[in-house]
C-alpha cells in the first residue's frame, strides 16, 4: 500500500517510526510538513526524513507544497495528520477534499475537518468510492469509533460520557492528589509537555466539545456544531472543592456527555465516585457507552502521544487495505 503523509509533527513522525519498525508493507510516496515536501513514487527514505526533521530541518524541499503532494503524488491513502484548526478546518479540509476527488482514501487525526464538514466529506468519499477514516480524532489510542461502528453495530446508544481530555484529567488528578491549586497543576502539566503554552483549548473544554461533536455527528446521527455544546471548563476549580468531594469518597473530573434522545451535548466538571471506572489517573482517557443490547461498556486508554495516535491511524490504514486496496 502506498500512502502520502501530510504533517510531520509528533503524530506524523510516530507513524513513520511505526512503519519503519514494524514491517507493515507500507510505502510512503509523498510527505509534507508546513514548509516543505517530497514526492517519490519509488518510496521516500523515512529514516533520512526523520533524521532531517529531528535536526531541526524541513522534511523535504521547499519547492514541494502539501497541495502538490495531495494533487501529484501517487498514493492509495492520504494520511492527513496536521494540527487541528477548529475555525474553518483549513488547510486540511481542502487537502482532504482534493484527495477524495482524486478517488484516494483518506485517514486523518485532524478534528477540525471532521467536526466541521463530516456530512459533506462522507458524501464526497461515497461518490468517489473511497473510505474516510478518522479513528485518531477521538481519544487517541482507544478504538472507540471502530468499536461503536463495527462491534456495537445494531445497538442503540442511549448515553455516552467520559473523560475526553488528558490534559484536564492530569490537572484534576494533581489537584486532588497534592492539593495543588489550578495554576500550580497547570504549570506542572506545561513543564511535562501535557499542556500547550496557550491551554485554553483544553481547559475550557473546547477540545472535549469537538470530540463530542465528532461522535454525535458521525456515529449518533445528530447534526451538531461546537455551539450546541453546553460547555464549562476547569479554570475556576479550587483545591477546596476537590477536598469537599474527597470527603465523600468522590472526586471531580471534566466529563463530556451526549444524550442523543434529549439532544444533550455537555462538557462540565462533575462529581464522580472514586470507585467509578471513569476515574482514571494522569493523562488517560475513559469513555462509557450505554447501549441497549451490550449494556454499559467502558473504554480506557491513552488519549494522546505520538505512538498512541499513530496506532489509531495505522489501524485505519490496515482496515482500508484489508477491504479496498488492490496490490501492495
Partner 1 sequence: MKLEMRDRPGQLVAALQPISAVGGNIIAVIHQREAPAATEALDVQIVLELPEGRLSRLLELLREQGVNVVRIDEERLLYECTLIMIGHLMHTDLSDTVGRIDTTGSAEVTELSLVMPAISSPSSARITIRSTTRTEMKKAIRILRSVAEQKNLLIIEPLEDA
Binding site for partner 1 (CB under 8 A): 161, 232, 236-238, 240-241, 243-245, 247-248, 250, 252-253, 255, 268-273, 276, 278
Nearer to partner 1, 79 or 250 (CB): 250
Query: C-beta of 286: minimal distance to partner 1 in Å?
Result: 12
Residue whose C-alpha is closest to residue 165's, from 211, 226, 133: 211
CA angle 245, 246, 251 (to 5 degrees): 65
Query: C-beta of 180: minimal distance to partner 1 in Å?
Result: 14
List strand residue ranges (DSSP E) for the chain, in order. 2-6, 27-32, 37-39, 77-80, 105-108, 132-133, 157-163, 230-231, 250-259, 264-273, 284-291, 296-302
Nearer to partner 1, 103 or 238 (CB): 238
What letter does residue 84 receive in the DSSP assignment? P
Residue whose C-alpha is closest to residue 53's, from 75, 79, 32: 32
Q: Which residues are paired to 157 by β-bridges? A: 291
| Contacts for 115 with CB less than 8 Å, ≥ 6 apart | 86, 89, 137, 210, 213, 214, 217, 225, 226
Nearer to partner 1, 120 or 240 (CB): 240
Nearer to partner 1, 71 or 241 (CB): 241
3-state secondary structure of 3: strand
CA angle 286, 288, 291 (to 5 degrees): 155
**CA–CA distance, 162 with 132 (Å, rounded to integer):** 25
The position carrying cell 468531594 is: 245
**CA–CA distance, 37 with 64 (Å, rounded to integer):** 5
Marked catalytic residue, from 111, 211, 274, 302: 211
Query: C-beta of 272: minimal distance to partner 1 in Å?
Result: 5
Query: C-beta of 236: minimal distance to partner 1 in Å?
Result: 5
Query: C-beta of 288: minimal distance to partner 1 in Å?
Result: 10
Query: C-beta of 273: minimal distance to partner 1 in Å?
Result: 8
Nearer to partner 1, 123 or 244 (CB): 244
- How many alpha carbons fall within 13 Å on the CB side of residue 251? 22
How many C-beta atoms surround the C-beta of residue 237 within 10 A? 20
211 among known catalytic residues: yes
Nearer to partner 1, 227 or 247 (CB): 247
Catalytic site positions: 211
Amino acid at each position: 500500500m502506498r500512502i502520502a503523509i501530510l504533517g510531520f509533527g509528533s503524530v506524523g513522525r510516530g507513524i513513520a517510526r511505526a512503519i519503519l519498525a514494524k514491517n507493515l508493507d507500507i510505502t510512503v510516496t509523498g510527505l509534507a510538513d508546513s514548509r516543505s515536501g517530497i514526492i517519490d513514487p519509488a518510496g521516500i527514505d523515512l529514516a533520512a526524513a526523520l533524521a532531517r526533521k529531528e535536526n531541526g530541518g524541513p522534511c523535504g524541499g521547499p519547492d514541494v507544497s502539501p497541495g502538490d503532494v495531495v494533487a501529484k503524488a501517487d498514493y492509495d491513502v492520504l494520511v492527513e495528520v496536521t494540527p487541528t484548526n477548529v475555525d474553518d478546518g483549513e488547510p486540511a479540509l481542502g487537502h482532504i477534499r482534493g484527495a477524495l476527488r482524486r478517488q484516494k482514501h483518506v485517514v486523518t487525526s485532524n478534528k477540525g475537518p471532521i467536526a466541521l464538514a463530516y456530512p459533506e466529506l462522507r458524501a464526497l468519499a461515497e461518490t468517489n468510492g473511497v473510505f474516510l477514516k478518522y479513528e485518531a480524532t477521538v481519544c487517541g489510542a482507544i478504538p472507540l469509533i471502530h468499536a461503536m461502528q463495527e462491534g456495537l453495530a445494531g445497538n442503540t446508544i442511549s448515553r455516552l460520557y467520559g473523560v475526553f481530555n488528558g490534559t484536564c484529567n492530569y490537572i484534576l488528578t494533581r489537584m486532588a492528589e497534592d492539593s495543588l491549586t489550578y495554576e500550580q497543576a497547570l504549570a506542572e502539566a506545561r513543564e511535562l509537555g501535557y499542556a500547550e503554552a496557550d491551554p485554553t483549548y483544553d481547559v475550557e473544554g473546547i477540545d472535549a466539545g469537538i470530540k463530542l461533536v465528532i461522535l454525535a455527528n458521525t456515529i449518533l446521527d445528530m447534526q451538531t456544531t461546537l455551539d450546541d455544546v453546553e460547555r464549562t471548563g476547569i479554570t475556576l476549580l479550587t483545591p477546596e472543592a476537590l477536598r469537599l468531594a474527597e470527603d465523600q469518597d468522590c472526586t471531580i473530573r471534566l466529563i463530556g456527555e451526549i444524550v442523543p434522545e434529549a439532544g444533550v451535548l455537555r462538557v462540565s466538571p462533575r462529581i464522580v465516585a472514586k470507585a467509578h471506572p471513569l476515574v482514571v489517573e494522569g493523562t488517560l482517557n475513559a469513555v462509557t457507552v450505554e447501549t441497549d443490547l451490550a449494556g454499559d461498556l467502558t473504554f480506557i486508554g491513552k488519549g494522546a502521544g505520538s505512538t498512541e495516535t499513530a496506532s489509531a491511524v495505522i489501524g485505519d490504514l490496515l482496515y482500508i487495505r484489508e477491504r479496498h486496496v488492490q496490490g501492495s
